[in-house]
Structure 1
């Protein structure tokens, strides 16, 4: 069983930001019109993180299929993730830190990652609540943590702070 562990975001910030900028440059060479954003806990100061880097790539609907093909030349498809006409997840475990790339159609149902980051940056109480959730799952099952994380973000999506974005 895979166990989850967390450290302070500050332990990863410098390397995560360096890797983000390198990957952003690669992505924009292939998709110059994309909106490429550093999301996830490494983008939120003072948070706890597993230490992986998350990037969201946002494209218009008419570019989605071409974007999937182009990003597939850089990264492997995350086979364990959902695949739709407006969302695709990629991964690269060889980068430092390991990388997840979420490709979304702008304004689609799963165009939420940048919004999560914005709420966690603007409202410290939500960030602290998320960190408490992580502390509760330290050393426990990754699957159980992912379920709890999903419930947290589903609840966050119902808040006025999220809905106003």
Structure 2
């Protein structure tokens, strides 16, 4: 039974930025064509975060198989995540902060992590609502939080702000 806890992203900003840039360089050395982006709550200043960092690696479809191979050498496959022909999730829990890497094909159904970040950066109200949701689930079951978070993001995908991002 895993419980979820949050901290303000400003408390770990320096460490997450350092981690992001070092892993971006590592990934770009091996996948120079990839678009590597810092996503998730640690990419949103002054938001609540679980204290981890998420990176989205975006590639065109013909680069996806090679990207899976490369990222498999760098990180552990996240077995608890969805696995499709357009999406793979990897992780490294041994570093501080723990790292999640989402590999997506550009413009595929899972190519939305950067959009969530951008909408939250541009819209204070959505960011406030997301932090409010996190406060509600502070100390509660991770699965309960993830279910509520998924519902929040499904609703965000219906907003004009989300849908105008290309």
Residue of structure 2 in register with 1:144 after alignment = 144
The residue correspondences of 1:129-140 to structure 2 (distance < 5 A) are 129-140=129-140
The residue correspondences of 1:14-25 to structure 2 (distance < 5 A) are 14-25=14-25
Question: Which whole-Å CA distance do the structure 1 matches of 2:108 and 2:151 have between them?
Answer: 20
| Structure 1 stretches lacking a partner, 5+ long | none
- For the aligned residues, what is the CA RMSD? 0.4
TM-score by length of 2: 0.99
Residue of structure 2 in register with 1:94 after alignment = 94
Question: Which whole-Å CA distance do the structure 1 matches of 2:21 and 2:94 have between them?
Answer: 16
Question: Which whole-Å CA distance do the structure 2 matches of 1:31 and 1:71 have between them?
Answer: 9
Deviations 1:136-165 (A, max 9, x none): 000000000000000000000000000000
Deviations 1:26-81 (A, max 9, x none): 00011000000000000001100000000000000011011000110100000000
Question: Which whole-Å CA distance do the structure 2 matches of 1:112 and 1:131 have between them?
Answer: 19
Question: How far has the Cα of 1:94 moved from its partner?
Answer: 1.1
| Structure 2 stretches lacking a partner, 5+ long | none
Residue of structure 1 in register with 2:158 after alignment = 158
Question: Which whole-Å CA distance do the structure 1 matches of 2:151 and 2:106 have between them?
Answer: 23
TM-score by length of 1: 0.99
Question: Which whole-Å CA distance do the structure 1 matches of 2:98 and 2:157 have between them?
Answer: 27
Residue of structure 1 in register with 2:59 after alignment = 59
Question: Which whole-Å CA distance do the structure 2 matches of 1:100 and 1:147 have between them?
Answer: 18
Question: Which whole-Å CA distance do the structure 1 matches of 2:155 and 2:148 have between them?
Answer: 11
Residue of structure 1 in register with 2:83 after alignment = 83
Question: Which whole-Å CA distance do the structure 2 matches of 1:59 and 1:2 have between them?
Answer: 33
Give every structure 1 segment of 4 or more consecutive aligned residues whose post-TM-superposition deviation is greater than 2 Å: none
Question: How far has the Cα of 1:95 moved from its partner?
Answer: 1.4
Question: Which whole-Å CA distance do the structure 2 matches of 1:17 and 1:106 have between them?
Answer: 24
> How many pairs align?
165
Question: Which whole-Å CA distance do the structure 2 matches of 1:19 and 1:29 have between them?
Answer: 16
Secondary structure of the residue aligned to 1:89 is strand
